[in-house]
Amino acid sequence: MSKLGRNDKCPCGSGKKYKKCCMDKQVQPINIDPISQQQFQDFLPKLLNYSKTFDEQLQPIYKRYSATYTKLNDADARAFSQILFHWLVFNAPVIENKRTIVEQFVDEYREEFDNSLHEVLDRWTQVTPSLLLIEKQGETATVKDSLNGHVIVPDQTAAFEKLDSGDFLFGYIYPTITGSVLGTDALLIPDKLRAACLHEYNELYRMYKKDNETESAFVKRHFPAIIGILVSVLEQKTTEIPKVGQDARAVYTTFYQSISLEDYSTDVLLTVKNKWLDYYAKQAPRIQKPEVFAAALEYWASKQPNQWTTVTQKGLSEKYNVSATTISSRFKELDSYF
C-alpha 242, offset from chain centre: 23
3-state SS record for the chain: CECCCCCCECCCCCCCEHHHCCHHHCCCCCCCCHHHHHHHHHHHHHHHHHHHHHHHHHHHHHHHHHHHHHHCCHHHHHHHHHHHHHHHHHCCCCEHHHECHHHHHHHHHHHHCCHHHHHHHHHHCCCCCEEEEEEEECCEEEEEECCCCCEECCCCCHHHHCCCCCCEEEECEEEECCEEEECCCCEEECHHHHHHHHHHHHHHHHHHCCCCCCHHHHHHHCHHHHHHHHHHHHHHCCCCCCCCCHHHHHHHHHHHHCCCCCCCCHHHHHHHHHHHHHHHHHHCCCCCCHHHHHHHHHHHHHCCCCCCCCCCHHHHHHHHCCCHHHHHHHHHHHHHHC
Q: Lowest-confidence range among 47-61, 155-169, 227-241?
A: 227-241
pLDDT tens track for 29-58? 566 788 889 999 999 999 999 999 999 999
Tell whether the model's pLDDT for residue 19 goes beyond 50: no
pLDDT at position 221 is 96
Is the pLDDT at 23 greater than 50? The verdict is no
pTM over the 0.85 mark: yes
- Spatial distance between the Cα atoms of 120 and 27, rounded to a whole number of angstroms: 10
Check residue 10 and give its pLDDT: 56
Q: How far apart are CA 187 and CA 194, in angstroms?
A: 12
Given a cut of 80, is residue 8 above it in pLDDT? no
